[in-house]
Amino acid sequence: MSQFARSPLTAVLGPTNTGKTHLAIERMCGHASGMIGFPLRLLAREVYDRVVAIKGAHQVALITGEERIVPPGARWFLCTAESMPLDREVAFVALDEAQLGADPERGHVFTDRLLRARGREETMILGSEALRPMVRALVPDAEIINRPRFSTLSYAGARKLSRLPRRCAIVAFSAEEVYAVAETIRRMRGGAAVVMGALSPRTRNAQVQMFQSGEVDYLVATDAIGMGLNMDVAHVAFASLRKFDGRRQRRLTISEMAQIAGRAGRHQRDGSFGGLVEEGPSAFTPEEVLAIEGHVIPPLEQLYWREGSPSTASLDALIESLERKPNHPALRAAPQAIDLAVLKRLAEEDWVRARTRSPAMVARLWSACGLPDFRKLGPDPHARFVGRIFQHLSEGRGHIPHQWFADEVARLDNVGGDVETIAGRIAAARSWAYIAHRADWLAEPAHWADRTRAIEERLSDALHDRLRQRFVDQRTTVLLRRIGADASNLPVEVGEDGEVSVDAHVLGRLEGFRFHVAPDARVADKRLLISAAEKGLAGELRRRGAALAGATDEAFVLDAEPGERPGIRWDGIPVATLANGPTLDRPAVKLDRSLDCLDRAGQTAVRERIVAWVEAEIARRAPVLARLAALSRDPDASAPLRAVAAALTEVGGISPRESADPALDALAPEDRRRLRQAGVTVGTLDLFDARLFRPAPARWRAALLAARDGRPVEPLPPAGATVLPGDTRAWGFRRLGGQAVRVDLVERIARAAHDARQGHKPFAPDPALATSIGLQPETVAKLMARLGFRSAKAEGEQPRWAWRGRPRAPAPRAPAAPRPGNAFAALAGLDLSRG
């Protein structure tokens, strides 16, 4: 395009947010044809979409290393600087971010375009004010126009991540640092979009759209956002001020800092910038702050240069021309780029030299060396890959084998894996997409261009999805916004199944008065969700508290599962536990901790309602306990009666008679009658109420005993059991040898025996009752002896028994190890002769 060197050339210089790129687009669209070179594929794609909206897709082309959309009638071209087709004649040409000519890695490309890319009617160079002396030195006929920034850019100081304002971009300088910052923002603020130069345009656009739409309020990015990507950023925070430039770790230049910080603010809206720390190597110096705020950028003294049209006469001539020194004082030789490094490595191979004996094959090798190292493998591995590509390009019909290409591409068509895995596949797919867009490298380039683009799009969608899953928690974002406004007005919804949500984002589940965080919530988010639920569910919890306080008796149930502490459930929800009270029939009621969410008045009302139900249920299910307790407190009852009643209440209404004999002997007939009226049977061997062996009373008795002793409920005998192995005295079974017999059945056998005997004469009791119960002969013998009978059986006769008198009480032995202060344990010391 050098033949158009005399066409008007304008250099539009100034800081970010001056409308330079917008001006170039307008100027290009005003010409019959045009071309703009951009520093990033992402930016080229963004502007391509804008121009398509103006001119129509059939007239606009996009050319990047790995993407090529060139309709037959295309007149306007949006390209990366490296991909600009300099042999195409167009009316307008522009180069964006031309100050990148000072970049060691890519600078020679921008310098070459600045010197050689010209439009037939107009040429425009866009860049920083720092480029002014280079424009004067290299293109002295250019008209320089300075554009002021539309809004003010000011330093806001250092702020921690937790205190960054919304609509903020945090800039880091490695993928690892970007991911770490994004994860921290997700935990603190609900989520962030991620933008890096390595992202495909599709993924980048999807991530930016999340930020632009307000789905997230934070953007974490590399310095790629400094290259003209337009977003509504109010504040730019630097996570660091050092970056790896391909050779070493170094501090950002003033120009780089200003380029990135300038993304804050848009059009007439002011912006701010700052760091994350106030001191140390990642903090701004006062001089840097003044320079950035005043847009005072140190002028460039030289640009990097490399021969843009190297000789392809021979392999050595190509290398020599690429290593040629510039002959202008404003230019300096560019450091060896990876394409030249690969070329020099391959030039050492004999087979390469044998195949590059013609200028056409030298040009073909140089074209292959231009394949970017998208995967960042380094010169040696990348040289091997390029060598294999050139091997195919230099033999046969000069095409890469269809099957090899197809197999390599097919391996990448997999959307499984994490962020890093999918990002690695996209980088590899970009290599194959670059190859597919070389018109003479494949037999069917159009087919493979479509195929690689489809794979990249699928991988890009998957990468966006993984980034969103990893770094965005919409639920937390919504809560933070709502809580920031007014936590009491959170629009919490509780479904019929207890599911709690805010704006359709599930927080967890409300079971009774206890909130359970959603199982998919990360550990770091649980405190926030619980806090949000407590504040938003206050009204619902008050309503449930009122419903509990006014519940009917049918809504309550005793919770006396073996191994658990006894408690009360309301509609299946634990609401209270039973503990030791004044007497066994009056246990203490302790509300479940989940009811701490109620105010004091609400808790009092609930406790009173549960206490009333417990008292009524005990009176209905185990009336003997309440009646015995009443007798023990009756001032009109005799001392022996009160003692027996208190002792029976203490053990739950079932006790061996020998423990109470001293008090029983002192009972008057009226006392015994009152005891029977209370429900107590004074048996031959035991005191008991037979109703306590029914399932419901037995469960209540077990729960009350466990509550009194502060222990879990013990397993009850099977329902309807009459005989058990082992020692189960606590549940009203008397041990007789290897069997334990329920005491009410012991009493029935005793009465049957007394009914059958005639004085002290031997007799044979009816064995039917004992047999029906399941008593063994040895058990029957022990029982009869315990009842006061002696064996009168002769040799060969059926068992016969003779009455020998009421059995004497054995040595004192508490049936169930009574607690200290147990009433029965104290009976022996009482003087029961007084009424």
* DSSP string across 696-725: HHHHHHHHHHHHHHTSPPPPPPPTT--EEE
> How do residues 218-270 score in pLDDT, each as one tens digit?
999 988 777 656 678 999 999 999 988 777 889 999 988 998 998 888 777 88
Burial-class residue 350 by CB neighbours within 10 Å (0-12, 13-18, 19+): exposed
Most confident of 498-507, 560-569, 777-786, 795-804: 560-569
Q: What integer pLDDT is reported at residue 265 of this predicted model? A: 83
pLDDT at residue 495 is higher than 80 = no
pLDDT at residue 503 is higher than 70 = no
pLDDT at residue 69 is higher than 80 = yes
Domains and CATH numbers, the chain: 1-148 (3.40.50.300), 153-301 (3.40.50.300), 474-536 (no CATH), 734-827 (no CATH)
Q: What integer pLDDT is reported at residue 79 of this predicted model? A: 97
Q: What integer pLDDT is reported at residue 546 of this predicted model? A: 93
Please tell me which residue, 31 or 485, carries the higher pLDDT value: 31
Please tell me which residue, 470 or 237, carries the higher pLDDT value: 237
Q: What integer pLDDT is reported at residue 528 of this predicted model? A: 57
Q: What integer pLDDT is reported at residue 831 of this predicted model? A: 47
Burial-class residue 67 by CB neighbours within 10 Å (0-12, 13-18, 19+): buried
CA distances to 2, 79, 104, 495 from 31, rounded to whole Å, are 19, 17, 34, 61
Strand 789-791 and strand 801-803: the pairing is: antiparallel
Q: What integer pLDDT is reported at residue 194 of this predicted model? A: 93
pLDDT at residue 136 is higher than 80 = yes
Cα 507 to Cα 346: distance, rounded to the nearest angstrom: 60
Most confident of 10-19, 106-115, 258-267, 588-597: 106-115
Strand partners, 570: 556, 573
Strand 789-791 and strand 739-742: the pairing is: unpaired
Strand partners, 13: 127, 146
What average pLDDT score do residues 68-77 get? 94
Q: What integer pLDDT is reported at residue 711 of this predicted model? A: 93
pLDDT grade, residue 805 (50/70/90)?
A: confident
Amino acid at 137: A
Amino acid at 148: P
Listed in order, strand segments (DSSP E) in 471-591 are 492-494, 499-502, 505-511, 514-517, 556-559, 567-570, 573-579, 588-591
Q: What integer pLDDT is reported at residue 657 of this predicted model? A: 86
Verdict on whether the full-model pTM lies above 0.75: no
Phi then psi dihedrals of residue 828, to 5 deg: -65, -25
Q: What integer pLDDT is reported at residue 420 of this predicted model? A: 87
Q: What integer pLDDT is reported at residue 42 of this predicted model? A: 80
What average pLDDT score do residues 513-536 get? 63
Cβ–Cβ < 8 Å for 359, 313 = yes
**SS3 category, 9:** strand
pLDDT grade, residue 833 (50/70/90)?
A: very low
Q: What integer pLDDT is reported at residue 269 of this predicted model? A: 84
**SS3 category, 408:** helix
> How do residues 322-361 score in pLDDT, each as one tens digit?
999 999 999 999 999 999 999 999 999 999 999 999 999 9
Helices (H), 500-659: 526-536, 538-549, 600-621, 623-633, 639-651
Q: What integer pLDDT is reported at residue 514 of this predicted model? A: 81
Task: Enter the tokens of residue 193.
Answer: 């979009």
pLDDT at residue 650 is higher than 90 = no
> How do residues 754-769 score in pLDDT, each as one tens digit?
888 888 888 888 888 8
pLDDT at residue 813 is higher than 60 = no
What average pLDDT score do residues 538-567 get? 90
Q: What integer pLDDT is reported at residue 832 of this predicted model? A: 43
Q: What integer pLDDT is reported at residue 817 of this predicted model? A: 46
**SS3 category, 498:** coil
Q: What integer pLDDT is reported at residue 726 of this predicted model? A: 66
Cβ–Cβ < 8 Å for 559, 506 = no
**SS3 category, 742:** strand
pLDDT at residue 150 is higher than 60 = yes
**Least trusted range by pLDDT, from 174-178, 305-309, 611-615:** 174-178
- Summary mean pLDDT of the chain: 86
Task: Enter the tokens of residue 40.
Answer: 């990033």
What average pLDDT score do residues 459-477 get? 82
